[in-house]
Structure 1
């Protein structure tokens, strides 16, 4: 996960930008960047965000 920011708020913004611009799903992003999806979701859930598959973004 060294390619992604550690701060949850910056991570939220970065992931949504990547999902909007470069990836069709969170699974695709995680596979491509070799990061653990559960870790990302748990980190963002700790500050109140969850992933929406339908919208392909965290909110």
Structure 2
């Protein structure tokens, strides 16, 4: 599955997956075979930060 290119769509997609399917961003990245640094970088450039405590970007 290809990740959304638009940062807002990516934000929504990743947070939904984290909420519904994965207990951590590392688990999501391993399972979906995606690069964690890429996701974090794209979402940081849109103003979002990952909270491991809350398991979501905000």
Q: How many equivalent pairs are there?
A: 58
Q: Distance in 2 between matches of 1:53 and 1:22?
A: 15
TM-score (norm 1): 0.94
Moved over 4 A (4+): none
Q: Distance in 1 between matches of 2:17 and 2:52?
A: 14
Structure 2: 5+ residue stretches without partners: none
CA RMSD of aligned residues (A): 0.8
TM-score (norm 2): 0.96
